[in-house]
Chains A and B, each alone.
Chain A
Amino acid sequence: MKSILSILALSSLVSGICLANDSYRLADTIKNAVGDVNLLRAQGNLEIAPSALEALRALNFGNLVLGVDINEAASGSEKADTQGVAIESLQLTVVIDGQIYTFTDFSTKTKSVLAKGNETSRKEYYTLIGRTGSNSITGSELHNTSFDSTISIPVNINLSNATSVQLDIQLLNTNTKLGDPEAFYDETAGFEDLALLNFSDRQFLDVQAAGQAGAPLVVVNEVQSSAASYLYYPGQDRYFVVGYEDQYPNKGDYDFNDLVVAYRVSYGLTTEGKVTQVNGEGYLVARGGSYSHNWHLHMAIPTSAGIVGQISMYQPNTSETDVNYPTYVNVDSGLDIQIFSDTGITFKDDQRAFVNTEWDSQFVPGQKFAFAFDLEYPVPLSQMPSAPFDPYLYVLDTGYEIHLPGKLPRLGYSQNTALGIESFVDGQGFPFALTAPDDWQFPNEYIDLGIAYPQFIDFIGSNKDNNSDWYLNGVNSATTKYNSGKWKW
């Protein structure tokens, strides 16, 4: 908190100085990984006086600082809220009185270790990371733009009399066949917009660090504020899908679609393997029951970890958080978050009683959640809870909790607690909650899971030796037509 306050104070102090030295959005951009950029020409074909360029250099302590708006394709591990490129080379060429000066040193706030082209060996490259619509700079020429990252170029000459200031930049063509991190830092769509920044705008973007939290293999150059590595459950681009039978403790119809939720969790780690961050996100996928539920995610993080962070909830197909979000969390241990509330109200199909579980229904997108927590005291991985954790329902109509088999009731006010009911399997031995990989397409309404997925019984009956891909072999007419590409908006 102290450092944030000091940055704000510094920022406002400097912004007062910079009022006459505004940032400029440049006319040239980086296209197809190449930038041939005139730093004396602003958007709208307006000239930038060399004296203005010199003022920006002086205010940035002898550096020309560029802002970059990252515009990459949201595919693979790149998505709207985190995307990146790497810089292979950069050269600044200045002409003053017929003399040519070149500068090739530069830095950005982040690096990664990447393989180029068809190579397999890697080395460090400076990277630029951002997200769609990340910028909220106000009181500046950059107001309502979406600049993300900064490039700093040390320039040790006065630019007041420059007749030409030209920047040539080449983005790295990464070996995307290796997957991440190369796939993330590839250059695909472009073009990247550029701006010359004053000090306060530079500070804003550097502190904002847009998109860094979700980017792979971010090597931060200064104070190590982000994790050195990330561990993903069940995978960086994967989700656990959990389906419930909400008639508990009475047997249901085994369609495991009374509520369907997709979620995933990642741990940020130190280089020694201690957990410093816990992040997660997920979606409401379907509600095939008439009951209403609260959905919780319980993670038994050890006592005194010092969990501080926030939870955000997004309305379908928007990046705007719901009213009352983000909510802030500050607890010692035992993270147990009520994420989705009263699903009968918040997740409805206006035409039907059920949502997304009938074969002829139109798809209704569900809410999305995201959370990010820092652990004040890093916790060894051996003391962290195991995936898939404890995703559970509280059924508002019955007062019962429904957990995965082997888990215990959590809520003091639930019927489970009042009646001492702790088992979460039925009289035939089947569970009331089931997790599956996100390729699983849950059964349509009233369809028994075993009918929808004929290999499931053999999978279970063989002690899981046979048909481990049962969830990929559903009967088309018995399973939802909506795959993860539909609910993962």
Chain B
Amino acid sequence: MTRYFCAISLVSVALVTSGCMNAADGQSEVTESTPIIAGPPTPIANLAAPTATVLSDDSKALEDNLIAQGTSFSSFASTTITLHVNDTQFEGSRVFAKVMDQSQNTLFLGEIAVNAHIDIPFEVARNLYPLTVEYFSNATADQPLFSQVSL
């Protein structure tokens, strides 16, 4: 049933697109004698996307699979971290924060106001969580404080 459904879908897609596809390179041909906009094509983008994800058993190709409406394709995940240091945590007069991902890449670095609550939105590749938050000051006596934030 799954394969049958996919086959019908692919046939209809092929019918819609065949009129303007070049079999050699998969690109539409546009020549000087051809109007750039030859009238509105049937917009596949306006066809309803499948309501359920139907993955092929034997093909990983996107061409052979259907993905449900509203599916997100982002490899990134959003998270918000509240940066906050109260005035009793450090002796130093200036407080700084650093946020890094698992690849030690810096996401945030700089001075923050003591006692401020700053909500920082991050957008990080999902496999690079958890994030490491470090607070430090300008006083040698202050050891840095660390915490971790998971997805």
Contacts and interface: CB of A to CB of B under 8 A. Distances in A.
A387 B125 CA distance: 12
Interface stretch (A57-65, A120-128, A192-200, A328-336): A120-128
B65 A450 contact: yes
A387 B69 CA distance: 22
Nearest to A424: B45
A191 interface: no
Nearest to B108: A231
A457 B60 contact: yes
A464 interface: yes
A234 B124 contact: yes
A435 B118 contact: no
Nearest to A116: B140
Contacts of B97: 229
Nearest to A123: B140
Interface string B21-49: 10001111010000011001101111111
A4 interface: no
Interface residues of B, number: 83
A139 interface: no
A271 B112 contact: yes
A397 B136 contact: no
Contacts of A472: 127
Contact of A436 (B27, B64, B67, B75): B75
A458 to B, nearest CB: 8
B126 to A, nearest CB: 4
B46 A423 contact: yes
A457 B62 contact: yes
Contacts of A449: 62
A240 B53 CA distance: 27
Interface in B86-102: 94, 96-98, 100-101
Nearest to A449: B62
Interface of B: 9, 12-13, 16-17, 20-21, 25-28, 30, 36-37, 40-41, 43-50, 53, 55, 59-69, 71-78, 83, 94, 96-98, 100-101, 103-113, 116, 118-121, 123-128, 136-144
